[in-house]
């Protein structure tokens, strides 16, 4: 029986380790939460200043009527892309290395889409009548305009936030039951309600397996459609530089690009913060690095095609937008190309670098800086130099826009920190499942995995 | 549902040979439509509220330099890019071919302003409700709202004048006669460069001028089908 792989740790010991994040918070944790809360409060102050005075405190003008708020919107929705998508694709393709990172990725989706979904409301000129955008019955028979991409956005984001929250919750259900069995006090009450009486019977597992596979298959088209719709905000207009059929696939790829990078960044942070070195091994970073490399190549190709077709056609107004972008924003354009494409392609080709945690941290942060710049360079130069040269303009974000952006980043981090302290951060069920599948047992004269998953 | 039709298709012809760039139309528009008076700072920031602007271009080499002027107002496109993108129908098309804007429905997404290729939509970045120092507030027109902050606004072809003329004509049981109604800019233009009229009536002055071989429309290649026609300047300085 020497082939019989016995995991050196018992199931309950593994649970202890994987639930270590739920231990009572330390002083450092409170410090971090306070710091993040302060930045969020500052962002909220900036927002209320804008609402109570007027929008002249932003950098917006005619013709650049969309600025950093919409950049943020596209960026955050883009980030939200990968969590669920990576998790769903890996679940369906039965990639076993996915297991420890599922939860981190799915939670990221929920929080980034929540942050991103706020920005279209923040950027409104009259935020206090935002409910005009909702199709609610009223005595005047007024309806929103279903031809407007902004309404499609609202629909798509609502669908996505519901879908990805359900996906996260469904995956967490058995883990909540484990947490419930070990909890006391308010946590016990919380987990009891959330675990919905999960007992782990065979029938429950069968239903659970079917539901999570189905959910994974259903969430992928939703994820793709959401970012296509965000791209349509731009692609269906007549603004030079925006009006391009490549935008939907290009935006989807861009979204996955930044999303995968963000998942890797978060994996590194979680690994360090909760001492999960045994569960998030260099193998995981290696595999995620390969995925990132493929996406980087795809993104680079899409960017090349977009610029190349414009250059080839040399349509005067579109070309003006591109030359303006290259002249006015040379530095950040080069930074974007370097950080988004050139450097990741070179670095991610090497196994040793993919397995190095500091290198991966630097690369993934750089990719997301690059993707933020990319969104800025899509939105602002096109509006600055539109069709009528007499009203060309420039844009620079004001302190209000930058504060709200900082508040958004801190808000995301804060929600994530609170989540990590309240809910199991490692998908215990999936890890256990893999451990038991790995264990081989003798059946007659052959060795077979002890459990065949239904996935 | 019954299709709403109208005997009117309002349009304008702007003869660039006649335009002297005097700016009287801009002032008239401002006075007629309660367009906010902007501080120098606002104009420097590109946040001026003019519904009508005169674009000035220099043509030729020194010393033979000529100024050329292009008055640009809302083109009241028949396929207006601003209309479908508005999520709340604040920007809509009326049966007279006008491109309307409902101020108290507008939530300020500014999407219409981005999608307008002519950049004629202006947004109330500032709170303009008290932009009229005394006694200028006495000249505010009671026919038109003073737009609040956070709302998009633009040229309406002086829809309040069209409304009034329509009511008068309806009382007398006839259609509006050619030249009976004109927006403030056309009324003020000293050289009659701006001619307003019903394009659906082939005999109207505007419709006749619009058949000139000199006519063109701004950014025609975008397929927006504007209601404003320009007549090309034919002077020797024209290039």
Could you give all domains of chain A from N- to C-terminal order, each with its CATH number?
21-134+144-281+396-432 (1.20.1630)
Confidence of residue B1 (pLDDT cuts 50, 70, 90): low
- For position A349, what pLDDT does the model report? 92
Is the Cβ pair B107, A126 closer than 8 Å? yes
Q: Do A62 and B47 touch (CB under 8 A)?
A: yes
Rounded distance between C-alpha atoms, residue A166 and residue A219, angstroms: 10
Q: What is the spatial distance between Cα B155 and Cα B118, in angstroms, rounded to a whole number?
A: 12
CA–CA min distance B220, chain A (Å): 12
Average pLDDT over residues B104-130: 92
Q: Which of A383, A74, A375 is closest to A238 using CA atoms?
A: A383
Q: What is the pLDDT of residue B237?
A: 47
Closest Cβ opposite residue A148 in set B72, B86, B114? B86
What is the structure's pLDDT at A279? 75
Q: How close B109 gets to chain A, by Cα (Å)?
A: 5
Q: pTM of the full predicted structure?
A: 0.91
Identify all chain B residues contacting A126, using CB atoms and an 8 Å cutoff: 106-108, 148-151
- Residue at B1 is within a domain: no
Chains A & B: contacts with CB separation below 8 Å: 139
Are A63 and A391 in contact, with CB atoms under 8 Å apart? yes
Indicate whether B239 pLDDT > 50.
no
Q: Residues with Cβ < 8 Å from A3, sequence gap 6 or more? A: A440, A442, A447
Q: Name the residue facing B117 among A56, A129, A386 (closest C-beta).
A: A386
Which pLDDT belongs to residue A152? 92
In this complex, the residue of B89, B114, B150 whose CB is nearest that of residue A66 is: B114
What is the pLDDT, as a whole number, of residue A408?
Answer: 95
Chain A hits for B113, Cβ within 8 Å: 62-63, 65
Q: Write out chain B residues lying below 8 Å of A133, CB-based.
A: 87-88, 107
Say if B4 falls within a structural domain. Answer: no
Provide the sign of the torsion angle of the four alpha carbons A370, A371, A374, A376, taken in this order: negative
Q: Is residue B238 part of a domain?
A: no
Alpha carbon A31 to its chain centroid, in Å, reads 25
What pLDDT is stored for residue A341 in this prediction? 93
Place of tokens 């997301």: A368
**Structure confidence by residue, pLDDT tens digits, B138-172:** 889 999 999 999 999 999 999 999 999 999 999 99
- Cβ atoms of A262 and A101 within 8 Å: the answer is no
Q: Which residues on A lie below 8 Å from B118 (Cβ)?
A: 387-388
* Residue B41 belongs to a domain: yes
- What pLDDT is recorded for position A4? 43
**Structural contact between residues A62 and B113, judged by C-beta atoms closer than 8 angstroms:** yes
pLDDT of residue A439: 67
User: Is residue A211 packed enough to be buried (19+ CB in 10 Å), middle (13-18) or exposed (0-12)?
Assistant: middle
Owning domain of residue B206: 10-231
Q: Give the start-end residues of each E strand in B19-154.
A: 53-59, 66-72, 91-93, 99-101, 122-123, 152-153
Q: Which residues of A touch B (CB under 8 A)?
A: 53-56, 58, 60-63, 65-66, 120, 123-126, 129-130, 132-133, 142-145, 147-151, 154, 236-239, 383, 386-388, 390-391, 393
Chain A residues in contact with B70 (beta carbon < 8 A):
390
10 Å CB burial of residue A1 (0-12, 13-18, 19+) is: exposed
Is residue B193 in a domain?
yes
| Three-state helix/strand/coil letters over A135-154 | CCCCCCCCCCCCCCHHHHHH
- A132 neighbourhood in chain B, CB within 8 Å: 87-88, 105, 107
Q: Looking at residue A15, what is its pLDDT?
A: 73
Residues in chain B with CB shorter than 8 Å from the CB of A386 are 117, 119
Burial of B60 (0-12, 13-18, 19+ CB in 10 A): middle
Residues of chain A with pLDDT under 50: 1-7, 453-455
In a domain, B237, yes or no: no
ipTM of the complex: 0.90
According to the model, what pLDDT value does residue B9 have? 93
Assess contact for B24 and B188: CB atoms under 8 A.
Answer: yes
Pairwise CB contact (< 8 Å): A56 & B47? yes
Query: Out of B108, B114, B117, whose CB is closest to A125?
Result: B108
Cβ(B154)–Cβ(B178) under 8 Å?
A: no
The CA distance from A50 to the nearest CA of chain B, in Å, is: 11
If we measure between CA atoms, which residue out of B9, B16, B8 comes closest to residue B217?
Answer: B16
Does A56 contact B152 at a Cβ distance shorter than 8 Å?
no
Residue B2 domain-assigned (yes or no): no
Q: How confident is the prediction for chain B on average, in pLDDT?
A: 90
To the nearest whole number, what is the mean pLDDT of chain A?
86
Is the Cβ–Cβ distance between A150 and A133 less than 8 Å? yes
What chain A residue is nearest to B71 in terms of C-alpha separation? A390
Q: Is B150–A125 a contact, with Cβ atoms under 8 angstroms apart?
A: yes
Residue B136 lies in a domain: yes
Structural contact between residues A78 and A376, judged by C-beta atoms closer than 8 angstroms: no
Q: Are B77 and B224 in contact (CB under 8 A)?
A: yes
Question: What does the CA dihedral B165, B171, B174, B180 come to, rounded to 10 degrees?
Answer: -20
Chain Cα centroid distance, residue A419: 15
In terms of Cβ atoms closer than 10 Å to its own Cβ (0-12, 13-18, 19+), residue A151 is buried
* Contact present, B37 and B48 (Cβ < 8 Å): no
- Around Cβ B118, how many Cβ atoms within 10 Å? 23
Q: For B170-193, how does the pLDDT look when each residue is reduced to its tens digit (9 = 90+)?
A: 999 999 999 999 999 999 999 999
Q: Which residue of A has its CA nearest to B219?
A: A387
Distance of residue B77 Cα from the nearest chain A Cα, in angstroms: 13
Q: What is the pLDDT of residue A83?
A: 78
Look at B81 and A145 and tell me if their CB atoms are within 8 Å. Answer: no
CA-based angle B100:B103:B104, to the nearest 5?
130
> Which of A54, A129, A383 is opposite residue B107, by nearest beta carbon?
A129
Q: What pLDDT score was predicted for residue A10? A: 66
Q: Nearest CA to A75 among A306, A374, A332?
A: A374
Residue B119 with chain A: CB contacts under 8 Å:
62-63, 386-388, 391
DSSP B16-52: TTT-----HHHHHHHHHTTPPPPPHHHHHTT----SS
The number of domains in chain B is 1
- B chain contacts of residue A313, beta-carbon cutoff 8 Å: none
Cβ of B46 and A236 within 8 Å? no
Gap between the Cα atoms of A371 and A340, Å rounded: 7
Cβ distance A58 to B87 less than 8 Å, yes or no, reads no
For A314-398, where are the alpha helices, taking DSSP H only? 316-328, 330-337, 343-347, 351-354, 357-384
Residue B104 sits in a domain of what CATH number? Answer: 3.30.70.20
Q: Which residue of A61, A66, A132 is in closest CB contact with B88?
A: A132
Distance CA A387, CA B72 (A): 13
């Amino acid at each position: 029986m020497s082939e019989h792989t016995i995991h050196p740790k018992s199931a309950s010991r593994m649970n202890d380790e994987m639930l270590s994040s739920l231990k009572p918070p330390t002083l450092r944790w409170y410090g971090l939460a306070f710091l993040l809360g302060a930045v969020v409060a500052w962002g909220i102050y900036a927002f209320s200043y804008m609402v109570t005075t007027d929008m002249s405190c932003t950098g917006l003008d005619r013709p650049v009527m969309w600025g950093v708020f919409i950049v943020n919107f596209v960026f955050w929705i883009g980030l939200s892309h990968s969590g669920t998508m990576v998790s769903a694709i890996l679940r369906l393709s039965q990639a076993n290395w996915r297991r420890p990172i599922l939860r981190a990725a799915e939670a990221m989706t929920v929080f980034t889409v929540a942050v991103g979904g706020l920005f279209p409301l923040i950027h409104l000129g009259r935020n206090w009548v935002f409910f005009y955008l909702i199709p609610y019955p009223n005595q005047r028979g007024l309806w929103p305009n279903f031809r407007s991409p902004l309404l499609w956005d609202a629909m798509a984001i609502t669908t996505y936030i519901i879908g990805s929250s359900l996906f996260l919750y469904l995956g967490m259900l058995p883990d909540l039951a484990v947490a419930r069995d070990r909890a006391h006090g308010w946590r016990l009450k919380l987990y009891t309600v959330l675990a919905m009486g999960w007992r782990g019977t065979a029938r429950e597992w069968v239903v659970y397996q079917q539901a999570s596979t189905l959910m994974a298959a259903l969430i992928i088209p939703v994820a793709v459609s959401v970012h296509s719709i965000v791209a349509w905000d731009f692609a269906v207009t007549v603004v030079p530089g925006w009006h391009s059929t490549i935008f939907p696939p290009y935006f989807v790829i861009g979204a996955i690009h930044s999303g995968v990078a963000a998942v890797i960044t978060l994996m590194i942070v979680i690994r360090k913060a909760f001492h999960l070195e045994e569960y998030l091994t260099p193998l995981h970073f290696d595999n995620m690095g390969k995925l990132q490399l493929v996406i980087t190549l795809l993104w680079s190709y899409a960017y090349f095609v977009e610029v190349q077709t414009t250059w080839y056609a040399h349509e005067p107004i579109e070309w003006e937008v591109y030359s303006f972008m290259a002249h006015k924003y040379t530095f950040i354009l080069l930074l974007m190309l370097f950080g988004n494409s050139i450097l990741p392609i070179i670095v991610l080709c090497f196994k040793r670098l993919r397995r190095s945690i500091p290198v991966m941290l630097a690369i993934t942060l750089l990719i997301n800086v690059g993707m933020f710049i990319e969104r800025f360079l899509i939105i602002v130069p096109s509006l600055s130099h539109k069709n009528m040269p007499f009203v060309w303009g420039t844009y620079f974000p004001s302190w209000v826009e930058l504060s709200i952006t900082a508040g958004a980043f801190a808000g995301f981090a804060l929600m994530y920190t609170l989540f990590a302290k309240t809910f199991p951060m490692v998908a215990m069920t999936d890890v256990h499942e893999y451990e038991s599948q790995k264990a081989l047992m003798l059946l007659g004269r052959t060795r077979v995995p002890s459990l065949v998953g239904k996935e | 549902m019954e299709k709403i039709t109208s005997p009117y298709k309002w349009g304008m012809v702007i003869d660039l040979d006649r335009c002297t760039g005097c700016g009287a139309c801009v002032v008239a528009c401002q006075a007629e439509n309660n367009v906010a008076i902007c501080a120098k700072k606002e104009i420097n920031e590109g946040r001026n509220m003019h519904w009508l602007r005169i674009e000035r271009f220099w043509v030729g080499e020194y010393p033979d330099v000529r100024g050329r002027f292009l008055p640009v107002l809302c083109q009241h496109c028949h396929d207006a890019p601003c209309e479908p993108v508005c999520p709340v129908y604040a920007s809509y098309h009326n049966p007279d071919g006008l491109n309307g804007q409902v101020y108290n429905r507008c939530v300020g997404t500014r999407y219409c302003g981005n999608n307008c290729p002519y950049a004629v939509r202006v947004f109330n970045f500032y709170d303009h409700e008290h932009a009229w120092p005394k006694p200028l507030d006495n000249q505010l027109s009671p026919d038109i709202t003073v737009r609040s902050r956070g709302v998009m606004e633009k040229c309406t072809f002086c829809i309040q004048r069209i409304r009034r003329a329509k009511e008068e004509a309806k009382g007398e049981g006839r259609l509006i006669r050619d030249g009976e109604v004109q927006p403030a800019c056309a009324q003020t233009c000293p050289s009659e460069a701006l001619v307003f009229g019903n394009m659906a009536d082939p005999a109207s002055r505007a419709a006749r001028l619009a058949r000139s071989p000199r006519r063109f429309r701004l950014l025609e290649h975008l397929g927006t089908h504007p209601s404003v026609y320009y007549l090309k300047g034919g002077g020797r300085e024209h290039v």
